Amino acid sequence: MSGNAFRLTTLGAMTSPKPKTVQTMKPETAAKKLGVLFSATPAEFQAGVVSRDELNELQSKPPAWLTDLRRNGPHPKQVVAAKLGVSVSGLIRGGITEPLTTAEIDALKAENPAWLERERTVQAETRKEALRLKQR
């Protein structure tokens, strides 16, 4: 057997199709990708693993519990920060360390405390600076 024939045989063995494995993730990771607070999800969601296909299905056709969580909360800190127009660090500086519901977020917006106004200004300046640097 010549060197090339051996090489082709070896390459053929290495490239043979393998059964596709199902990609799964922890429910905590799936909750984060869905933008909901893990501890607020149903027990059956928390107890299992979530496949990529199941995650895609949840995103495209959310069940009632997911729709309700997204609408009313409680929301994780990243979502709270986005809804208030501040950074997660700004939330913490403002004393917000727990998840908030949509009603609590709306009340904070209506109240517009000094820390929130200050953090919104900081966030706006940070975005403006990032845009300026990107355009260089």
- Grade residue 48 by pLDDT with cuts at 50, 70 and 90: confident
- Residues 3-33: pLDDT tens digits? 555 555 555 555 556 667 778 899 999 999 9
Contacts of residue 30, defined as CB under 8 A and 6 or more positions apart, other chains included, come to 45, 50, 54, 55, 58
> From CA 78, how far away is CA 73, in angstroms rounded?
12
Ramachandran bin of 116, using left for φ above 0, alpha for ψ from -120 to 50, beta for the remaining angles: alpha
State mean pLDDT over 39-59. Answer: 91
- Grade residue 71 by pLDDT with cuts at 50, 70 and 90: very high
pLDDT at 94: 92
- Residues 86-121: pLDDT tens digits? 999 999 999 999 999 999 999 999 999 999 999 999
Structural domain boundaries of the chain?
A: 23-72, 73-135
> From CA 15, how far away is CA 31, in angstroms rounded?
36
Q: Please state, for a pLDDT cut of 70, what percent of the chain lies above it.
A: 85
Q: What is the mean pLDDT of the chain?
A: 87
Selection from 64, 62, 46 nearest residue 54 by Cα: 62
Helix (H, G, I), strand (E, B) or coil at 94: coil
Specify the range with the lowest mean pLDDT, choosing from 4-8, 34-38, 64-68: 4-8
